[in-house]
Amino acid sequence: MGVGITVERLNAFYGKTQALFDVNITVQANHATALIGPSGCGKSTFIRCLNRMHETIPEARVEGKVVIGDLSVYNGTSATQLRRRVGMVFQKPNPFPTMSIYDNVAAGLKLNGFRNRKQLDEVVHKSLHSSALWDEVKDHLHKKSGASLSGGQQQRLCIARALAVQPEVLLMDEPCSALDPISTGKIEELIFQLKEQYTIVIVTHNMQQAARVAEFTGFFLLGKMIEFDKTEKIFTNPSDKRTEDYVTGRFG
Amino acid sequence: MRTRFQQEMENLREKLLRMGGLAELAVDRACQAYTERDLTRCQLVLENESLINAAEREIDELAFDILATQQPAATDLRFILAVTKINADLERVGDQAVNIAERVMDMIELPAAELPVDIARMATAVSAMVRRALESFVEGKAELAQAVLEMDHVVDRMRDEAFIVLVRKMNEEPQVTQQALDALLVARNLERVADHATNISEDVIFWVLGADVRHHAQAASAAQRPERQEP
């Protein structure tokens, strides 16, 4: 099951440049939360702070408190331990090109020393089912490489790979921006189903996508969380004029 | 800034205002036709109904196109929803004007009767409601729309009073029953026009404030909501 996320006074820096300013947010378990905002507003930086990817950039640092379930992300939790519970899917599908479909999904488990073949089969089967890819790849799990799939299939393969380690939270950074409308529709349908089991945080430039898949939406601008509310409120009657101007296309 | 989108929204607004003008004119002409027993004005109302119907279709088509192609949100989305509903109300205002005109055409055939009801006063109040409802749309001001909602009770009372005195008249002087019945139906048509003006005002409040004040919801409290936070 998914877990909630609490973020308090989160500040993120790239060297001397501050990218996030005192962000506070509570993400509800087993819901999809969308983060929107113009390019450079800090939404991707924010999502990368949730699984400690931000600090992998030289001179980047984070201040503040992030709690995912019972894990205090910046206080005594190792990045490896954290990322087992927080999966991530990126803008561009990035399957391991030389691995088969099966090995792509099993990679995370194998990396963690999981070797039982029967159990691995079960996890791969379940993960590919959950990512709605099973029917399309079941006949060539070992024959075809991940890179041989279409863009939309590759992205669902990456989702299956993230799900295989049984995370509680799934972070998605513009997961559909490189996909056609049909593949996008499949991923959105998938997000809808996945939130029954996982907590999903999705960064998107596509406001209609946020409106379609997320129960809650946060609007970022210049590194600040301007407004966070139920999605329907953000898209029908936001409280802040800056949110209104962004969702109506008056800037951004 | 989405220039083309803003142009389309402005185009939609102008089309609705033109339609509002046609509907308002139809009601005024029908009411003048009643007080002056004027057949020519009745015919003008009937002839112009097709213009209102054509405008209704045109506005719906444009609103539908904008929804399909521009995916408006927030105030723009509320504006388009309000426009489509106001559009339907204005078309019905036009229908009520036609009903009044047809009633007047029947009345002109009958001998004039002294009736204890001031339809002209009711017509003035109703026309003012339609005009102010449209003004609230033009100005985008919820308080103007709110004032229209409060006028509806006045028109309802006028209709009730007209009903009482006209039924009494029919009982006392059966020979003017047809004329009294016609006046009663005109009063009812006018009261319906007032209801449409009320609907239009409610839609303006929805567009401006995002508050649904239909069906006796407290419009006043919605109008007193805190202003949107400015950056």
The pLDDT > 70 percentage for chain B reads 93
> Hey, what amino acid is at B93?
V
- CA A162/CA A87 separation, integer angstroms: 5
Within 8 A of B1 by CB-CB distance, chain A residues are 249-251
Tell me the angle at which helices B74-109 and B3-36 cross, rounded to the nearest 10 degrees.
20
Within 8 A of A206 by CB-CB distance, chain B residues are none
User: What is the mean pLDDT of the segment spanning A219-237?
Assistant: 96
Residue B131: both structure tokens together: 């005009």
Q: Kindly tell me if the per-residue pLDDT of A242 is higher than 80.
A: yes
Fold type of domain B3-223:
Methane Monooxygenase Hydroxylase; Chain G, domain 1 (1.20.58)
What confidence score (pLDDT) does residue B218 get? Answer: 52
CA distance A170 to chain B (A): 27
Contact A249 B5 (CB under 8 A): yes
Q: Kindly tell me if the per-residue pLDDT of A1 is higher than 90.
A: no
For chain A, the 3-state helix, strand and coil shares in percent, each to the nearest 5, are 40, 25, 35
Tell me the angle at which helices B3-36 and B39-70 cross, rounded to the nearest 10 degrees.
160
Confidence of residue A252 (pLDDT cuts 50, 70, 90): low
Contact B74 A244 (CB under 8 A): yes
Low-confidence winner among A60-69, A79-88, B195-204 (lowest mean pLDDT)? A79-88
User: What is the mean pLDDT of the segment spanning B182-190?
Assistant: 96
Strand, coil or helix: A215: coil
Contact B210 A244 (CB under 8 A): no
Contact A239 B76 (CB under 8 A): no
Contact B229 A235 (CB under 8 A): no
What confidence score (pLDDT) does residue B224 get? Answer: 47
User: What is the mean pLDDT of the segment spanning B78-82?
Assistant: 97
Query: Taking CA atoms, what residue in A is nearest to B209?
Result: A237
By Cβ distance, the residue of A235, A240, A242 closest to B73 is: A235
- CA B76/CA A180 separation, integer angstroms: 27
Within 8 A of A236 by CB-CB distance, chain B residues are 73-74, 77-78, 210
Q: Kindly tell me if the per-residue pLDDT of B163 is higher than 60.
A: yes
Within 8 A of A239 by CB-CB distance, chain B residues are 228-229
Place of tokens 């444009």: B62
Within 8 A of B231 by CB-CB distance, chain A residues are 240-242
Tell me the angle at which helices B177-209 and B3-36 cross, rounded to the nearest 10 degrees.
160
Query: Taking CA atoms, what residue in A is nearest to B207?
Result: A237
CA distance A245 to chain B (A): 9
Confidence of residue B220 (pLDDT cuts 50, 70, 90): very low
> Hey, what amino acid is at B138?
V
pLDDT per position as a tens digit, A4-27 = 999 999 999 999 999 999 999 999
By Cβ distance, the residue of B72, B210, B230 closest to A248 is: B72
> pTM here?
0.82
Contact B73 A237 (CB under 8 A): no
pLDDT per position as a tens digit, A108-121 = 999 888 889 999 99
What confidence score (pLDDT) does residue A251 get? Answer: 77
Q: Kindly tell me if the per-residue pLDDT of A232 is higher than 80.
A: yes
What confidence score (pLDDT) does residue B223 get? Answer: 46
CA distance B66 to chain A (A): 13
Which CATH code fits A5-98+168-247? Answer: 3.40.50.300
**Interface probe with A: pick from B5, B67, B71, B79, most Cβ of A within 10 Å:** B71
Contact B5 A236 (CB under 8 A): no
Chain B touched by A63 (CB under 8 Å): no
Confidence of residue A180 (pLDDT cuts 50, 70, 90): confident
**Close Cβ partners of A92 (under 8 Å, ≥ 6 residues apart):** A178
> Hey, what amino acid is at B98?
V
Chain B touched by A230 (CB under 8 Å): no
Please name the residues between 166 and 225 in chain A that touch chain B, using a CB distance below 8 Å. Answer: 207-208, 211
The pLDDT > 90 percentage for chain A reads 82
Cα-to-chain-centroid distance, residue A236: 25
What confidence score (pLDDT) does residue B3 get? Answer: 84
Within 8 A of A249 by CB-CB distance, chain B residues are 1-2, 5
Contact A244 B75 (CB under 8 A): yes
Q: Yes or no: say if B81 and B206 are a contact pair by the CB < 8 Å rule.
A: yes
Contact A241 B228 (CB under 8 A): yes
Confidence of residue A72 (pLDDT cuts 50, 70, 90): very high
